[in-house]
Amino acid sequence: MRGFEGEVAVVTGGGSGIGRAIAAELVRAGARVAVADIDADAAERAARELGVEAFQVDVSSTSSVQALAAGVRDRLGPAAVLVNNAGVASAAPLERMTDADWDWLLGVNLSGTIHGVTAFLPQLRQTRGRILNTGSMAGLSPDAGMGGYGTTKFAVTAYTEVLAEELAADGIAVTLLAPGPVRTALGSSSRNRPGSAGAGGAVDAGAGGLDGAADRGLVDVDLAAGDGAGLRWITAEEVAAVALDALRDGRRYAITHPDWAHVVHARHCAIEKAFADALAHEQESRSTERETGASVGSDADTDQDQGTTR
């Protein structure tokens, strides 16, 4: 188990929600925290409240994340903890999604994670640091209507798992945080989408895709509302506690909803059944080939015997 006392920790998407809660937990654990967010006001507000450093960053931009890495090193020193938490989500059927929709979701959720690792890895090698990438339960089991989001989070899962294998020899632990339903503002993340009113531009109200109504079917939840529709909502603070426990222990996965194990299990069972079916089909085909071969051989022997008799 390894603590965080005196370590430099960077949290993207740290201005609100899960990111801010993780930043607060890191501060309580003695870390020196850099809160980074595309929303400069949110980052500054969180920094004032937590007594940490604030940075503005667009994780979908390589140059912006590289500038963040340089700024953190200059102001705080080399990072020992990287939390790639910035993410966006919107709901729409896959057939309605436009190229711009995919570019936005992939740019933030997947490329943002990759950019963070690429920019900070030299510092993390120096400190034998730790990485936490925020994925989702949607990256372990997909949901209809959230296909775009799920696609990006499945990619984050794969990226994190491979990264953990590749960096193990360097002593860098990599953790995948897979939250279930959490009471945050993720549902209105289009406010920071390029061209949105929240990003300082006009909203494109064109038909189709997510443009102009990026939050169709996904809205901020009422923090005072109870659970419903089979969902158990938790707070960002609960997620942060799970995340830091996993980071301390160097665990590969940080799961916030253990009661959802059956959902992932059902998906894996379906995949395993496909393997079993393929094996059975292969064995049946081989058996048929052997029987056919034996039959052909038997017919040939019979013909030869009959010829000898004549």
Range 277-293 average pLDDT: 87
Can you give the pLDDT at residue 146? 87
Can you give the pLDDT at residue 220? 39
Residue 138, pLDDT above cutoff 70:
yes
Domain residue ranges of the chain, discontinuous segments joined by +: 8-256, 261-310
Structural tokens at position 239: 């997620």
CATH code assigned to 8-256: 3.40.50.720
More confident residue, 292 or 141: 141
Contact 55, 72 (CB under 8 A): yes
Range 111-120 average pLDDT: 99
Q: Note the pLDDT tens digit of each residue in 221-259.
A: 344 455 666 678 899 999 999 999 999 999 999 999 999
Question: What's the pTM?
Answer: 0.84
pLDDT bin (cut points 50, 70, 90) of residue 13 is very high
Can you give the pLDDT at residue 294? 66
- CB burial of 132-150 (b: ≥16 within 10 Å; e: otherwise) equals bbbbbbbbbbbeeebbbbb
Q: Note the pLDDT tens digit of each residue in 162-211.
A: 999 999 999 999 999 999 988 776 555 556 666 654 543 322 323 344 44
Among 104-118, 187-201, 240-254, 288-302, which is the least confidently predicted range? 187-201
pLDDT bin (cut points 50, 70, 90) of residue 295 is low
- For residue 108, the 8-state DSSP code is I
Catalytic residue flag (residue 253) = no
The one catalytic residue in 120, 149, 159, 260 is 149
Q: How far is residue 73's CA from residue 66's CA, in Å, rounded to a whole number?
A: 11
Residue with tokens 């510092």: 123
Q: Note the pLDDT tens digit of each residue in 32-67.
A: 999 999 999 999 999 999 999 999 999 999 999 999
CA angle 169, 25, 241 (to 5 degrees): 75
Q: How far is residue 85's CA from residue 177's CA, in Å, rounded to a whole number?
A: 9
Please choose, from the candidates 50, 68, 67, 73, the residue with its C-alpha nearest in 3D space to the C-alpha of residue 12.
68
